[in-house]
Amino acid sequence: MKLAGRVALVTGAGRGVGAATAALLAREGARVVVNDLDRGEAEQTVAAIGAAGGEALAVPGDVTDPVFPENLISTALDAFGSLDIVVNNAGYIWNGAMHNHTDEQWQAMLDVHATAPFRILRAWAPWLRSTAKAEIEADGVARCRKVVNVSSVSGTTGAATQIAYSAGKAAVVGITKTLAKEWGRYNVTVNCVAFGHIQTRLTQPYDGEPPTIEVGGRSHRVGLTTAQIDGVSQAAALGRSGRPEDGAGAIYLFCIPESDYVTGEVLTCSGGG
C-alpha cells in the first residue's frame, strides 16, 4: 500500500474519474475525503470504499460556493488530523459557439475549473505551511505532499464550442505551474492531468436528442454522438476511448512516492489521440 498513512481529498468524487480515483487511493491505503455536489453520489462512493475495507468521509457541497472550500479543508483536517493529497477534479461542461456564450456561461466555467481549485488550495495553505515548517525544523525535511489538478486537452490544445471551458482548463495549467514554484520549498509537488475522451456522463453516447445534467438548477447538454465517439476512438493510438479507471490511474501516478521529484508537469491522458 503505497499511500498508507496518507489522507487524500478528491473533489467531484461521486461519479466517473473522481469516484474511480477515490477508490484507487483508498485501495492503496489512503483515508479519503470524498466531495461531490450530489450528497447521494458522494455517500455511495464512501460506502463502496468502506465495503472494500477502506476508510472515507463524505463532505458534499458546491466547490464554487465562496465559503465552502474553507469548510471542506477544515472538515478534512478535523476528521483525520492531516491532509497529504489534494485532487481538484470537480467540473462540468457548458458548451456553445463563442458568439453564443453569455457572461454567465463564461464565468460559470471559470468558477468551477479555476476559481474553485484556487480557493481550495488557498484554504489548505495555512495548515500546510505551518506543518511543513514544523517538520523541517524537527527533521530537516517536510513530508512530501501532493496536488493533482485536472485539466483537459481542451485547455492545452483548444476545442471548438468550448471557449469558456477551455479557458478554465488552461487556467488550471497556469495554477499548476505557478504553485509548483511557490510550494516546492514545502516539499509539495503540484502536477496536472489533461484528459482526452474519458467515458463519463459528460461524454456519454447518444443518438437523437442529447442528454442533460442538472447543475445549480440549470440543465446542461452533455454527451457525444456515437459517430463522434467512434471518431475519437479511431483517432486514438490505442484505438479506444478512456475508462474512468484509466483517468484515475494517471492521477495516481502523481500521488505515489515514485513521483516525489516530479512537479509542475502536465500529463496528457488521451490514449494517444
CATH 3.40.50.720 domain range(s) in the chain: 7-196+243-268
Tens digits of residue pLDDT in 121-176: 999 999 999 999 999 999 999 999 999 999 999 999 999 999 999 999 999 999 99
Q: Do residues 119 and 66 lie in contact, with contact meaning Cβ atoms separated by under 8 Å? A: yes
Cell numbers standing for residue 241: 476511448
Above 80 in pLDDT, residue 54? yes
CB 177 within 8 A of CB 169: no
pLDDT over 90 at 227, yes or no: no
pLDDT score recorded for residue 268 = 98
Residues with a known catalytic role: 165
Output the average pLDDT for the chain: 95
Backbone dihedral region for residue 157 (phi beyond 0: left; psi -120 to 50: alpha; all else: beta): alpha
> What fold is seen in the domain 7-196+243-268?
Rossmann fold (3.40.50)
Number of H helices, E strands in the chain: 9, 11
Of the listed ranges 94-98, 190-194, 251-255, the least confidently predicted one is 94-98
